[in-house]
Each structure stands twice: as C-alpha cells, then as structure tokens.
Structure 1
C-alpha cells in the first residue's frame, strides 16, 4: 500500500561465501506500509545453525503479523509484545518439525503509527533514526572487544536481552535497519553519516528508484573479502528536508 507520509525500500544480497558453499540466504526482511505508518523488520539467521534461514523468515513473517494487531491497542506493553512474539515464533518453529536450537536468529524491528514509533532489537545489526531533535543509534557493537556470543531467538526468551525504545514520530526524518553484514563494516561514529547520505540522496526518489539504487550499492559493497549476507531497509518521510 502506498503511504502518503513515508516511502522506502528493502533490499538484500546473499554473501559470496554462501554462494560458493551453496548455502541459502540466512537474512530475511519485510517492509509493510499502511495508511498512517509502516512496519519494518530484518532478521539474521545464525550461520552456525542448520535451519537459521527458516528461523529468520518466520521471525519476519510473524513480526509483521503480530505488529499489525498490537499497534491498534490503546495500551501497548513492550514486554507483552516481546513475550507473545517469542511464543508465536517458538510455536511455528515446533510446528514445522525443526528444532528451536537449529533456527536461531536475531531481530531488528520498527513499528510506526501516526504519532509513535517503537524500536525492537535482539542481537546484532543496527537501527538508525535521523531526527530534527536527536539522532538515534541502536546497535550491538562491542566497542573493540571480541565476542562470538550473539543474543538471538531461541528456546528461552530473556527480556534483558532485548532493547526497546519508544519515540515521537514528529521529529523523525528517516529510519534505517540493517544486519551486521553492513553494520560491522561501518566505523564507529560513521553510522549516522552513512544514513544521512542516503536521506539526502533519496529525498526526491520514488520507492522504485530508492530500491534500484540500494540494490546497486549493496551488490557492490566496497569492503573487500566481506562474505556475509547483507540486508537493509531504508524509510524516509515524503518531502523530507
């Protein structure tokens, strides 16, 4: 559905290593516009898990489905959202016959209605919101430290592993979500500038033009030897200045 307030696109590119090894794309995404807002979500299946591509696709599918119901509620509880989302994800994984531990995936989601925007993060990747008030960066960068432990969807849902923010839509100009195949290659302090460049470039673009341009640069990612899948969603206000 075309939205008179927002425009944007979602793109993905399978990692070179996955092509060589004949492995499925493990990233997944969904972008849904409706009358007064949008829902955007990206999920990165853990590479060490056999069916993580299934886990990430299920995560995106049910995030959109559940968000459409949740956003209409007068009282919105993030804890209830997170708990119910996780239960639904586990139910569908078990229904499929796969083991939960083989379907682990991260999640980044944005739910926006006419006045409010809700950000959800579990695991790596990043969300950037450009604002007239204060720019927002939500990420899991380790500040130079090494860690191979990624928070993700699994058997146990720990509220402490999730990050949740509620912000006023009034001041937001653009929103960007991406998996770590992109965010890990952006130097600290450069994330905002990266998204600002997109916001400036796509100011007068249509949704189709945004998608075509994003597909071009994501397919020609300039960091050599980076073999990970890459997924990104960019949304900006129409008439953004």
Structure 2
C-alpha cells in the first residue's frame, strides 16, 4: 500500500475577547522515503481551541527502525500530559517544568521498555498559558517565535562536539531537555507568531531568513486568511528546493492576534 506523501491540518479560533488563534501545519514525506515507500518519521499536533493552546513536533531518528512510531507516541503522550498537568491560569515554576519533562520521558520509555533506541525521536513543544509561553525541546529542529514582529526566541541545538542530536533515548536524556518560560502580557504584545520545524526545513533556512520569517508569514496570513495560508505553506514545503530536500519536512505555524487582523 502506497503511503501518503503528506498530512496537514489548520484551524482558527476567536475567544470572547476577540483574540484570534490560528495554526497551520504540514508534514511532508521526504523524497527518499517516498522512493522507498517508507514512513514519514516526523509527527505533529497543534491545538488552538482547547484552554491551553499548543504545538508539538517530533522528528524520528533515521537510524531507528521504528522511529515513526516513537515520534507519534511522543506527541500523543505530551498532548495528554499537557491537558492533565497544566491549567492556563496556574503559575508554572522551573520545578514544575522539570518534573513535567521527567514524567514525559518516563512515560515514553515505558512504552518500549528496553528497545527505546529503535523508536528514538527528538521533540519540540510550545504551550501558551494566559500569563506566558513555555517552550521545551530535546534535540535538533527549530523553535522560533516573535512578538510585535520582533524575533524574541530562537532555539536550535546539536551536540557541539559530535554534531549529533540528542533525543528521548539518549543516555541521561533529561539533562538535555531545554525549556524556557517567558511571561507575556498578550494584550500588549500582539501579533505573536510561533514556528516549529524539523531539521529537514530548519537546516536550510539562513539566519537572515529566520529573522524575517515570522513577519513575512504573519503578513501572508493577514492577506490570505488561515485557509489561504495553508496553501502557501503547502506549496512551499511540498516543493522544497533547497539542500536537504530528501529529508522529511514538518512545519507548524501558530499565531495570536486580534480579530480582524488575522494574526
């Protein structure tokens, strides 16, 4: 059975304060995996209609036989834990986040017992509270976000010595989880744009492009709306023409703006 070349999703939600939340996401099976009819090892999940808004992206390691299962399971576990562990109004401490990541790692490893290396994956997430933004990650890929069209946070990291990425199956993986909580007064900082990508996209994006990308996509969203934005991303990510074109590619865009401004 031939596997689908891509999966995508998008949504828009306007709350009682006329704040608009949107997401657009697409995950494309890389050309090598298409040729060999193999699985897309990336997986994503986004939500703007729940109390906590979030975006999650996982990138299964190419060396792991079942990483497409491991990446999907990591996203599913994280989504369940977000709903069970956090409340949009409750404060979040570093201890809370550390324990959250520890429990996530324990639950994921518990699915595969002694075979975690065969299911290995990296993981990125953004969680939006009423009082701020939590980002978390292990491994490579990119988290990029901006407020008022000014880039305020970029995350992308590999092992600086070996150039290999950390992952959920790494020894002492919890030590390599990166997280950052940023308090935000959302009324004063809109529009806010979040971008999460796997390295099949981020490795090809130059620094000057990264700095301009949130404002550019926000303008596209204002002009075309959330449905039109999905076509823009689809045309771009599906028809990728840069160096790492053989990798699976996942791109998630999540925005916060005022109704009538689209983002």
TM-score with structure 1 setting the length: 0.88
Confirm or deny that 1:6 pairs with 2:25.
no
The alignment partner of 1:237 has SS state of strand
CA contact (8 A) 2:139 2:158 kept: no
Partner residue, 2:168:
153
CA contact (8 A) 1:127 1:138 kept: yes
Shift of 1:166: 0.7
Partner residue, 1:109:
125
Shift of 1:208: 2.5
Shift of 1:134: 5.4
> Which stretch shows the higher mean deviation, 24-33 or 183-192?
183-192
CA distance, structure 2, for counterparts of residue 210 and residue 103 of structure 1: 33
Structure 2, unaligned runs of 5 or more: 1-10, 15-19
What do residues 112-158 of structure 1 show as CA deviations (whole Å, max 9, x unaligned)?
A: 1222210001100101111136521111167xx78442100116443
Partner residue of 1:129 out of 135, 138, 145: 145
1:148–1:116: structure 2 CA closer, same or farther, 3 Å change rule?
same
Equivalence map 1:8-47=2 (5 Å) = 8-47=23-62
1:53–1:203: structure 2 CA closer, same or farther, 3 Å change rule?
same
CA contact (8 A) 2:203 2:244 kept: no
Shift of 1:35: 4.6
Partner residue, 1:194:
213
CA distance, structure 2, for counterparts of residue 160 and residue 210 of structure 1: 37
What do residues 55-113 of structure 1 show as CA deviations (whole Å, max 9, x unaligned)?
A: 1000111111101122228353110110011111112233xxx8111011000000112
Confirm or deny that 1:221 pairs with 2:240.
yes
Partner residue, 1:234:
253
Shift of 1:206: 3.3
CA distance, structure 2, for counterparts of residue 180 and residue 198 of structure 1: 19
Partner residue, 2:106:
87
TM-score with structure 2 setting the length: 0.81
CA contact (8 A) 1:15 1:230 kept: yes
> Which stretch shows the higher mean deviation, 104-113 or 165-174?
165-174
CA contact (8 A) 1:31 1:40 kept: yes
Confirm or deny that 1:139 pairs with 2:156.
yes
Shift of 1:207: 2.8
1:155–1:188: structure 2 CA closer, same or farther, 3 Å change rule?
closer
CA distance, structure 1, for counterparts of residue 198 and residue 139 of structure 2: 10
Confirm or deny that 1:67 pairs with 2:82.
yes
> Which stretch shows the higher mean deviation, 160-169 or 24-33?
160-169
Shift of 1:222: 2.3
Partner residue, 1:165:
180
